[in-house]
Amino acid sequence: MTQDEWRSVKATLPNGPTGHLTLALWLADVALLAAAWVLWLAGGPARIAALVLATLALIHLYLILHEALHGAASRSRACNEAIGHLCGWIIGLPYLPRRRSHLGHHAWTAHPTRDPENRKMIQKFSVMTERGARTLEFIWRHWIPMMAFNHFLSHWIAPFLHRDTPAHRAKSNTEIAFSALYLAGYAAVGALAYRAGVLGSLIAFSTILWIVLLMAVELLNLPHHAEIPLLADDAARPPLWEQDVVSHSCANVPLWSR
């Protein structure tokens, strides 16, 4: 694709932050979570409805987080950042490390060593033993969302690893500070739940939902990114209008991942 072709296609697509609509959707998702929590506390069959509502809300919050990563959640940078952090806090995925990784993925799409997403996969699978391959097959066959779990966990660990230059250390310190705020928020909610006598219910509710979210993330992301053509190790960063060479048809990808 040439630069002019890319620009003509881009001109036909919606562009820019969605503003108040995204904020309204975020508030609706939070309201759904609150309603789901009330239903969960009611017990009995209501808990099934609670899990359905909360699952829909969490998946949607994961998608809104993606919009915030690209600065598209709001025209206000402060509002965009707030939405991103709140989504990240609710689903357990730190916003700042995720943004760094995701934007790096877009900048270096399909590069074996510079694309943060590809690099992790290649480093893991290139040294996999036969036993490791059997374990991975067992995990996939039994719908265990191990890759999504590692995806979430890696963003909690990343700030402690990305410290090779003063600039990187400064960013990492900010990421660590916000991660600490996330943990403080979880502790505060846990303390309130304990005082209200519902800590056990909260842990059960959150654990089930988080596992379901991990399964959804694995189903959404894994097929979509599988079999993407890779660039050469010494390839330059491809401009946006040439990234079609490392794209692939989604015709054979499950409908939910397109």
Q: How far is CA 157 from CA 32, 176, 185, 222, in A?
A: 30, 9, 18, 21
Residue % of the chain over a pLDDT of 70 = 81
Which tokens in the block code for residue 10?
Answer: 């881009």
pLDDT in tens, 207-226: 999 999 998 888 776 666 66
Max alpha carbon distance in the chain (Å)?
A: 62
Q: How far is CA 78 from CA 75, 81, 196, in A?
A: 9, 5, 33
Q: Read off the pTM.
A: 0.84
pLDDT at 258: 46
pLDDT at 227: 59
Residue 206 CA to residue 197 CA, distance in Å, equals: 16
- Pick the more confident residue, 83 or 23: 83
Lowest mean pLDDT among 42-46, 149-153, 189-193: 149-153
pLDDT in tens, 107-117: 777 777 777 77
> Is 131 a residue whose pLDDT tops 60?
yes
Residue 78 CA to residue 74 CA, distance in Å, equals: 8
Residue 161: burial class (beta carbons within 10 Å; 0-12, 13-18, 19+) = exposed
Q: How many CA atoms lie within 13 A of 20 on its CB side?
A: 0
Residue 216 CA to residue 246 CA, distance in Å, equals: 25
Q: Which residues of 44-59 are buried (b: 16+ CB within 10 A; e: fewer)?
A: eeebeebbebbbebbb
